[in-house]
Copies of this chain bind each other. A is one copy, B any other.
Amino acid sequence: MKVVKFGGSSVADASQLKKVTNIIKSDDSRKVIVVSAPGKRSANDTKTTDLLISLGESINNGNKDEQIYNKVMDRFADIGKDLNISNEVLESIEQRIKEACEATSLDYIAGMNALKSCGEDGTALLLSAYLQSSGLESSYVNPKEAGILVSDEPGGALVLDESFDQLYELRKRDEILVIPGFFGYTPEGKLVTFSRGGSDITGSIVAAGVKAELYENFTDVDSVFCVNPTIVDNPKKLTTLTYKEMRELSYAGFSVFHDEALIPAFKEKIPVCIKNTNNPAGQGTMIVNKREEKDGHVIGIASDKGFLNLYVSKYLMNRELGFGRKLLQILEDEGISFEHAPSGIDDMSVIIREHQLPKEKEAVVTRRIAEELHVDTITVEKDMAMVMLVGEGMNQTIGIASQAATAFRHANVNIEMINQGSSEVSMMFGIKSDGLASAVQSLYRTFFS
């Protein structure tokens, strides 16, 4: 049994949904289908989820935007018409959106979660109906019916362990099941969404629950590239990588697969395959537990901007038991999560994503650190970028650090920070953002040419 997830571009219009149907038809084991909301049909198009969010915001502002509402409805209507779907299906989609609009006007957060989920839900209803009309036995399965139970963290739900046993019951069903991605229900029955892009998470949860032989993730790229293709032209494709490698790559700039989506698949050791809806015969990229040729090579370069370095120094810091802990405690008190906290003898740096530390928080945090920890200096350096080299076994290979550092030198980019040794499969470099592109290009030449 395979679980197959189709992303936003794969379900953007009727012609894409026909491709999806052919993909499902071509392999009997594709039994459980998870879908995203209709994505962009062209570069200037707007994703359905973005329309729904704008709609919800207009309601929250006391002035429901009917134009946006109509745009949403038109998207579903166009698909329904092109696929000859019965009006009943479209009416039930519209009914659900209307209810979510009302809910939003009463309770913004709960309503918005319901409204955001309408994109995936509508797609699942449409696809299930189309599969039936194409002669395949099929059912729409709501996440509540499927048993996807989640924590009550709107926009950032985490799956609850009890989900998996219930999902396993889906194996008993014979027809093709179509489940909308992106949301689940709390044990109290409240609809809560995952973080953005969360259909990948639903797919992974379902794959783990039904103990699928494979979790296929159809998107609009043939495979995962080894580096951001907007920085390097025509980069190499990855045919196989491990869960750990993918997780590290996802963290910093690799948006092809959701950061957290790997966890459920990883726990059950379900292999994941990234494929292209527009080229289903292509090899794709396999994500597996163990890769055979673990020769300690760099397999990918991830990179991301938008970091800052909170730097403090204090004489005899290393003699002060608890200094680092107290500094991290202040950040925790203020709800700020950090990425790394390398420390020297009398210095400590904390790398934070810039959005975590808006101006007013920055003032509070720096004042508290100065007053409570009596530091000598405290500075905040912005516009930092992180570059991450990823590869299993890499950290046990002599010479990788040397090659990497030389690549930065050739790009004439200074390395502000190196974080190696904490992760077994990656090496991280902090640089100024303006040197990012040339540094990544130089690293690519070093490790992939």
Contacts known (A348-B422, A418-B421, A430-B421); A340 close to B338, Cβ less than 8 A: no
Can you list, as one digit per residue, whether each of A395-414 has a CB less than 8 Å from chain B (1) or not (0)? 11111011011101100111
Q: Are A395 and B416 in contact (CB under 8 A)?
A: yes
Give the nearest-CB partner of A419 in chain B: B342
Contacts of A325 in B (CB 8 A): 325, 328-329, 331-332
Please give the count of copies of this chain that the complex contains.
2
Q: Are A413 and B398 in contact (CB under 8 A)?
A: yes
Distance of A266 from chain B, by nearest CB (Å) = 7
Give the nearest-CB partner of A330 in chain B: B325
Contacts of A406 in B (CB 8 A): 402, 405-406
Let me know if A213 is at the binding interface, CB within 8 A. Answer: no
Q: Are A337 and B349 in contact (CB under 8 A)?
A: no
Q: Are B418 and A346 in contact (CB under 8 A)?
A: no
Question: In the docked arrangement, what's the CA distance between A341 and B335, Å?
Answer: 21
Q: Are B318 and A423 in contact (CB under 8 A)?
A: no
Distance of A313 from chain B, by nearest CB (Å) = 8
Let me know if A154 is at the binding interface, CB within 8 A. Answer: no
Contacts of A344 in B (CB 8 A): 248, 340, 419, 422-423, 426, 428
Distance of A410 from chain B, by nearest CB (Å) = 9
Q: Are B415 and A345 in contact (CB under 8 A)?
A: no
Contacts of A419 in B (CB 8 A): 342-344, 418-419, 421
- Which residues from chain A sit less than 8 Å from chain B, CB to CB? 247-248, 251, 260, 263, 266-267, 309, 311, 313, 315-316, 318-319, 321-322, 324-325, 328-329, 331-332, 335, 337-349, 395-399, 401-402, 404-406, 408-409, 412-424, 426-428, 430
